């Protein structure tokens, strides 16, 4: 009998952010947006700063902002390993907007400045998804 759920772990450099069963995971990789369902072929991909969406086995949907890292899929297990990861409900939206403004003022001419802009944008997108899901 095939498993109907994925076992998912989202791990940041300093902590386990979330672990549990899910029906679907969506993340942004260097190849583009990637959706993972049960039975997905084995895969290893590089994450880019963005938002990871998880539809849990309970039917809830949550989002997390992540920086660079890796996404691994094998045998209905999804491991998301990122330098930084924060669940949407943990994000201070106003602070993220201020961080984005400061990062833009610093310029986007070098890789480090651009990375700060992308990280702040990802936190804002994740927090806004949390806000819109609460409004439903």
Of the candidates 91, 118, 93, the one whose C-alpha atom is nearest the C-alpha of residue 104 is 118
Indicate the pTM of the whole model. 0.83
Secondary structure element (H or E) that encloses residue 7, with its range: strand 6-12
Shared domain check, 77 and 11: yes
Q: Report if residue 107 sits inside a domain.
A: yes
Tell me the C-alpha distance between 64 and 27, whole Å: 10
Domains in the chain: how many in total? Answer: 2
Query: Are 77 and 13 in the same domain?
Result: yes
With 0-12 CB in 10 A as exposed, 13-18 as middle and 19+ as buried, what is 20? middle
pLDDT tens readout for residues 48-83: 999 999 999 999 999 999 999 999 999 999 999 999
Q: What is the pLDDT of residues 85-105, one digit of tens each?
A: 999 999 999 999 998 888 888
**Quick one: pLDDT at residue 136?**
47
Q: Are residues 78 and 28 in the same domain?
A: yes
111: CB partners within 8 A, 6+ apart: none
Residue 64 lies in a domain: yes
Domain span at 106: 91-135
User: Is residue 43 domain-shared with residue 72, that is, in the same domain?
Assistant: yes
| Same domain membership, residue 99 and residue 52 | no
């Amino acid at each position: 009998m095939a498993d109907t759920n994925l076992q998912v772990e989202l791990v940041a450099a300093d902590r386990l952010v979330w672990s549990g069963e899910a029906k679907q995971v969506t993340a942004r990789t260097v190849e583009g947006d990637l959706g993972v369902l049960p039975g997905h072929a084995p895969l290893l991909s590089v994450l880019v700063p963005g938002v990871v969406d998880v539809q849990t086995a309970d039917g809830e949907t949550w989002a997390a902002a992540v920086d660079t890292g890796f996404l691994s899929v094998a045998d209905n297990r999804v491991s998301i390993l990122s330098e930084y990861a924060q669940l949407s409900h943990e994000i201070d939206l106003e602070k993220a907007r201020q961080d984005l403004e400061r990062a833009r003022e610093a310029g986007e001419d070098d890789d480090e400045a651009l990375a700060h802009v992308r990280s702040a944008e990802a936190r804002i997108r994740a927090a806004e998804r949390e806000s819109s899901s609460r409004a439903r």
